[in-house]
A = this chain, B = another copy of it.
Amino acid sequence: MTVTKIASRADEQAEIIRRVEEDIIFGRLPPGARLIEDNLMERYGASRHFVRQALVHLEHTGIVQREKNVGATVRSYSTAEVKQIYEVREMLTRQAALMIPLPAKASLIMELEAIQAEYVRYAERGDLRGIHDTNDAFHIALFAACGNPYLVRSLQDYMGLTLPMRAKNLADHNGLQVSIQQHDMMISLLRGNDNWALSQLCVEHMHSSKADYLQRVAVPGPNLGPD
Contact = CB atoms under 8 A, between A and B. Distances in A.
Given A154-B154, A154-B157, A91 B84 contact: no
B84 A148 contact: yes
A60 interface: yes
Interface string A195-206: 000000000000
A125 interface: no
Contacts of A157: 154, 157
A57 to B, nearest CB: 8
Given A10-B68, A91-B95, A84 B150 contact: yes
B95 A151 contact: no
Number of chain A interface residues as a range: 10 to 19
Contacts of A68: 10
A149 B84 CA distance: 8
Contacts of A91: 95, 151
Nearest to A9: B68
A88 interface: yes
Counting chain B CB atoms within 10 Å of each CB, the highest count among A56, A81, A87, A88 belongs to A88
B154 A87 contact: no
A85 interface: yes
A88 B81 CA distance: 22
Contacts of A53: 56
Interface in A129-160: 148-151, 154, 157
A150 B88 contact: yes
A148 B88 contact: yes
A215 to B, nearest CB: 21
Contact of A60 (B10, B60, B81, B149): B60
B85 A150 contact: yes
Contact of A88 (B85, B154, B161): B154
8 contacts: A10-B68, A60-B60, A84-B149, A87-B150, A88-B148, A88-B150, A91-B151, A157-B157
